[in-house]
Amino acid sequence: MATINENRQFWDADYDWLEEGHEWSRAWGGADMQWYGTILPRLHRYVPASTILEIAPGFGRWTGFLKDMCERLILVDLSERCIEACQRKFRSYGHIEYHVNDGSSLDMVQDESVDLVFSFDSLVHVERDVMESYVDQIAKKLSSDGVAFIHHSNIGQYSRYYGFWKGRFLPGRFVKWLKDRNIVEPYDHWRAFSMTGKLMEKMIEKAGLFCISQEYINWGTKPSHLIDCITVFSKKGSRWQGKTRRLLNRNFMKEAGIISSLSLLYSSRPFEKRG
């Protein structure tokens, strides 16, 4: 996985952003379908929230929805290009703040001021050291009943499998032949191999926080490969504290397919169906 500097170079200069991040919602039929069909059903009990912090908003794919659910919205991204794009897109909204960080710092956010920390489809690309830094700082930034909703990598659980197919053990043509026939799955979706859901839970406990839930999901992968995880956590003693709940959701991409099939009827920005 890339370093912070490599991430900054990629998102600031190398990536074209022609579709402003909406390309990653194609499997759902559009960002609005993904938001209302997949994200909001998982997030709804925690919104509206007075102050929301969105980490790594990119070009604001989810910001457009979050801005209507709070009195104050703070955007933090390591990419200056992304923050500038958000400033242009949401310039008419006076309750949004914009910050370029160093890829792991939340120093610009006041302690105990955030009611919801949100990040989806971004922090899957950060390694253990960056995630641990964010978790430690989130512990300070959350209000007494604040909640963090973080989508991160779990591919470390399958590191041997993906590492084998990415290695030089077999000829590339043979691996491609196997991939084309859906026999193997070498593509790792640029996930962080040093991260797992279990490790995330340990970070949360170490930071003095409480893990509310974890949903392990497949992401463009077979149902057997739950390479991502959505972890929700809060401060200990918050009104959310109870029994930690976990779900191995092997139907996540099937859910996306069902939502996509509805997009031509109900999406405000449906992707053209091809093939």
Q: With beta carbons less than 8 A apart as the criterion, state whether 196 and 231 touch.
A: no
Torsion sign (Cα): 39, 43, 48, 51: negative
Q: What is the pLDDT of residue 275?
A: 32
Q: What angle do CA 68, 132, 245 make, to 5 degrees?
A: 65
As a whole-number percent, the residues of the chain with pLDDT over 90 amount to: 80
Q: What is the pLDDT of residue 187?
A: 77
Instruction: Determine which of 22-31, 48-57, 176-185, 194-203 has the lowest per-residue pLDDT on average.
Output: 176-185
Name the token pair of 50: 């007075």
At 230-263, the pLDDT tens digits run 999 999 999 999 999 999 999 999 999 999 999 9
pLDDT higher at 2 or 122:
122
Domain ranges across the chain: 4-156+192-266
**Residue 274 pLDDT greater than 70, yes or no:** no
**Residue 269 pLDDT greater than 50, yes or no:** yes
At 77-109, the pLDDT tens digits run 999 999 999 999 999 999 999 999 999 999 999
Distance from CA of residue 93 to its chain's centroid?
24
User: In CATH, what is the architecture of 4-156+192-266?
Assistant: 3-Layer(aba) Sandwich (3.40)
Give Cβ neighbours of residue 117 (< 8 Å, ≥ 6 apart): 52, 53, 55, 138, 141, 142, 146, 147, 148, 149, 150
Helix, strand, coil % in the chain, rounded to nearest 5: 40, 20, 40
Q: What is the pLDDT of residue 273?
A: 45
Q: With beta carbons less than 8 A apart as the criterion, state whether 272 and 238 touch.
A: no
- Please give the mean pLDDT across all residues of the chain: 92
Residue 197 CA to residue 250 CA, distance in Å, equals 15
Instruction: Determine which of 56-65, 73-82, 124-133, 153-162 has the lowest per-residue pLDDT on average.
Output: 153-162
As a whole-number percent, the residues of the chain with pLDDT over 70 amount to: 90
Q: What is the pLDDT of residue 188?
A: 85
At 5-56, the pLDDT tens digits run 888 999 999 999 999 999 999 999 999 999 999 999 999 999 999 999 999 9
* N- to C-terminal Cα separation, the chain: 32
